Amino acid sequence: MKFATRSDIDAHVMHSGRHAGMSWLFDALETNRAILDDHFSLCGEQHARYFLRFRAFALDRTAIAGAVDLLAAEIPGGPKAPTRILCPESAGFELGRALSRRLALPIAVLAVDRTRRPVPRLVTGQLDPDDKVLLVNDIITTGQALVTMSRFVTSVGGQVRHIAVFATQGDAARSFAGRNDVPVSHLVHTHWPLYAADACPLCREGGAPLPAAEFN
Ligand SMILES: [Zn+2]
């Protein structure tokens, strides 16, 4: 497996623009080999050369603590504060658990299917009908996981109050936030190309893609 070099990372990953002095985070992405460089198939029939393996970043205690500090600072307190965190039982769990500790909020965890997408079934914790929920995940790519998670919250009578993710890709996060009037906090935006499966230049060069879910 190859890993993205620092120049790959600088070319394809931007910080959110809301925080200063973020070079430590880009250093951590590189040194923890958190961005894979090969040929991946993602959920939603898209292919990409790079894949963010958040779990590798989250194993770095200093890096995850720094990321959690920045995200936690954006979560409102007082009457607007969330009452619970909901995350999936995939790489997003690492961030959900860390934010749960940092914000002293109870956590509920959704099961995932064999492609690591969340399904509407809790494996840990509970949601109450009056819960104001902070949705947490590692990355928003297609937005499908966000839709599943927010429908689950609504189905039990709760309300999505805020979304916190490590990374966003494409427009899915912004369009979800706009449609649902829910703020999204993120630290980085990845903008490497995503290709439709039937128009992927990496496929044309030969070689089948690796299923990204295997690395998450
Ligand atoms: Zn391909």
How much distance in Å is there from the Cα of 212 to the middle of ligand 1?
Answer: 12
Q: What is the pLDDT of residue 108?
A: 98
Taking the centre of ligand 1 as the mean of its atom positions, its distance from the CA of residue 110, in whole angstroms, is 30
Strand pairing report for 194-196 and 35-42 = unpaired
In the predicted structure, residue 166 carries a pLDDT above the cut 90: yes
Distance 49 CA to ligand 1 centre (A): 8
Check whether 100 has a pLDDT greater than 90: yes
Q: Which residues fall within 8 angstroms of residue 195, CB to CB, at 6 or more apart?
A: 46, 47, 48, 201, 202, 203
| Alpha-carbon distances, residue 204 vs 25, 51, 200, 208, 209 (angstroms) | 34, 19, 7, 10, 11
Q: Tokens representing 12?
A: 């394809």
Q: How many CB atoms lie within 10 A of CB 129?
A: 8
Domain ranges of the chain: 2-215
* Cα of 15 from ligand 1 centre, angstroms: 27
pLDDT above 80 (res 44): no
The answer to whether the CB of 203 falls within 8 A of the CB of 197 is yes
Asked if residues 173 and 186 have their Cβ atoms less than 8 Å apart, the reply is yes
Check residue 107 and give its pLDDT: 98
Q: What percent of the chain has pLDDT over 90?
A: 82
> Which residues neighbour 25 within 8 Å (Cβ) at sequence distance 6 or greater?
15, 63, 66, 67, 187, 188
Report CA torsion sign: 156, 119, 190, 99: positive
Q: According to the model, what pLDDT value does residue 16 have?
A: 86
For residue 108, the SS3 value is: strand
The pTM of this model reads 0.95
Classify each residue of 17-50 as buried b or exposed e, where b means 16 or more C-beta atoms within 10 Å of its C-beta.
eebeebeebbebbbebebbbbbbbbbbeebbbbb
* pLDDT of 30 higher than 90: yes
Q: What is the mean pLDDT of residues 19-37?
A: 94
> Is the confidence at residue 6, as pLDDT, over 80?
yes
Which of the four pLDDT bands, split at 50, 70 and 90, describes residue 36?
very high
Q: How confident is the model at residue 43 (pLDDT cuts 50, 70, 90)?
A: confident
H or E segment and range at residue 3: strand 2-3
Inform me whether the pLDDT recorded for 150 exceeds 80.
yes
Banded pLDDT at 213 (limits 50, 70, 90): confident
**CATH of the domain spanning 2-215:** 3.40.50.2020
Residues with Cβ–ion distance below 5 A, ligand 1: 47, 200, 202-203, 209
* Distance in angstroms (rounded) separating the CA atoms of residues 129 and 68: 27
Distance 192 CA to ligand 1 centre (A): 14
207: pLDDT strictly greater than 90? no
